Amino acid sequence: MIRPLAERMRPGTLDEYIGQKHLVGQGAVLRKMLEVGRLPSFILWGPPGVGKTTLAQIIAARLDAPFYTLSAVSSGVKDVREAIDKANNSRFFNAVSPILFIDEIHRFSKSQQDSLLGAVETGVITLIGATTENPSFEVIRPLLSRCQVYVLKSLDEADLLELLNKAITTDSILKTKQIVLNETDAILRYSGGDARKLLNILELVVGADEGDYVEITDAKVVERLQENPAAYDKGGEVHYDVISAFIKSVRGSDPDAALYWLARMIAGGEDPEFIARRLLILAAEDIGLANPNALLLANACFDALRKIGWPEGRLILAETTIYLAASPKSNSAYLAIATASAVVEQTGDLPVPLHLRNAPTKLMKELDYGKNYKYAHDYENNFVHQDFLPPELLNTRIWHGQNNPAEQKLADYIKRLWGGRY
């Protein structure tokens, strides 16, 4: 049986690997780790077809480590525990930790992700997760804190052309033919930065021609694929372009455009829960405190969609899309947490002021934990001036209310309480 071209072209070493130079090029972070033989658990985040699974396999081969793989689509907690037990039993003294590769880790439930924590923490396994979704939203915080996150990018035109020429000149089957690349715009456009798709298209076009001479043109590629170049594709670049247009239309307060892109996703067979998750993120990131009800509605949308299913669920998505697009916008919460995170990164773990510390024991009380803390409800208007930040940060501003009625009301209230500080 002849293997597909994409499988025949799967690289076996970093030097054969195309793309992701920022991670595996000379002097890049993953290559350095492999050279010293020490690898932390990490998550590879990127679109389909950019080499996440291949990279994990190359790493395991380079380290000569036992390699176990699970798909989050078909595996449960029992499968995870069995894989961890196998990995633990395959360890030898001072040997490299076995690698557990989990494809589509974002599809794991909280309990499934929880089952990985102990093994990752103790080094029983080195976890490599692969996801097309933002790990910040799809991976539980305790697991995320134990893993590095590396972002893989869609292959650019130079990468795709390199792969195309390499396939034509080195593949055992293709190199027996005379393949002429007269035009490449269509094949590159259809591939959408996806190496697997590029090779599948090449194989399709070459296989449809009789004889040993094959001329590749844009017209031939379009004809062979028999679809509109702008057609929605859940697995390719157009998928990301359409969801991007949808998000930007809601953010830009254009309900008509948002509904159009929503309809494009529905017609393309997009996962309804994927859309609902994006609406939840939009409600928090782009509407925020300008209309807090947006987050409540988006959350209700997600729950209702699961209860009602499809096709009626599209009405729930449409209602929520219109409401979010028509709501006033604010990213003050997004900016505030980014600012707070930057402050933490710059200043480190500053000591908690004594009056704010918990004092459950006698010894802690003797050490002045909680001493002089003022209980706000004992004072007029349930407020009293006291310091809640470490002394080094007392003059630091983090949240800034934006110019919309809901947030101005909050900002005015805070200013009345704190005076010049805000």
pLDDT at 129: 92
The 10s digit of each residue's pLDDT in 68-87 is 888 877 777 788 888 888 88
The 10s digit of each residue's pLDDT in 368-400 is 888 888 888 888 888 888 888 888 888 888 888
pLDDT at 400: 84
pLDDT at 401: 82
Per-residue pLDDT band at 266 (split at 50, 70, 90): confident
Written as one letter, the residue type at 103 is D
Instruction: State the chain's mean pLDDT as an integer.
Output: 85
Q: What is the mean pLDDT of residues 280-288?
A: 91
70 φ/ψ angles, rounded to the nearest 5 degrees? -135, 150
Whole-angstrom distance, CA of residue 362 vs CA of residue 357: 13
pLDDT at 231: 38
Nearest to 95 by CA among 31, 34, 37: 37
In this predicted structure, which of 18-27, 50-59, 246-255, 264-273 has the lowest mean pLDDT?
A: 264-273
Are 200 and 5 in contact by the 8 Å Cβ rule? The answer is: yes
The 10s digit of each residue's pLDDT in 101-145 is 998 888 888 888 888 888 898 888 899 999 988 888 788 888 999
Per-residue pLDDT band at 228 (split at 50, 70, 90): very low
pLDDT at 264: 84
pLDDT at 93: 56
In this predicted structure, which of 13-22, 218-227, 406-415 has the lowest mean pLDDT?
A: 218-227
In the chain, what percentage of residues exceed pLDDT 70?
A: 95
End-to-end CA distance of the chain: 71
Whole-angstrom distance, CA of residue 229 vs CA of residue 251: 27
Angle CA 61–77–309, to nearest 5: 115
Whole-angstrom distance, CA of residue 208 vs CA of residue 418: 74
Q: What is the mean pLDDT of residues 151-163?
A: 91
Nearest to 186 by CA among 229, 236, 240: 229
Q: What is the mean pLDDT of residues 316-336?
A: 91
- Is the confidence at residue 239, as pLDDT, over 70? no
Domains and CATH numbers, the chain: 20-151 (3.40.50.300), 157-225 (1.10.8.60), 237-326 (1.20.272.10), 347-421 (no CATH)
The 10s digit of each residue's pLDDT in 137-150 is 788 888 999 899 99
The gap from C-alpha 157 to its chain's centroid, in whole angstroms, comes to: 23
Higher pLDDT, 231 or 54: 54
Q: Which residues make Cβ contacts (< 8 Å) with residue 171, sequence separation at least 6? A: 5, 8, 9
Question: Side-chain half-sphere of 188: how many Cα atoms within 13 Å?
Answer: 16
The 10s digit of each residue's pLDDT in 158-199 is 999 999 999 999 998 898 989 998 999 888 887 878 888 888
Written as one letter, the residue type at 18 is I
Could you write out the DSSP letters of every residue in 305-366? HHHH-TTTHHHHHHHHHHHHHHS----HHHHHHHHHHHHHHHH-SPPPPGGGS---SHHHHH
Q: What is the mean pLDDT of residues 335-360?
A: 84
Per-residue pLDDT band at 254 (split at 50, 70, 90): confident
pLDDT at 327: 92
Per-residue pLDDT band at 95 (split at 50, 70, 90): low
pLDDT at 55: 92
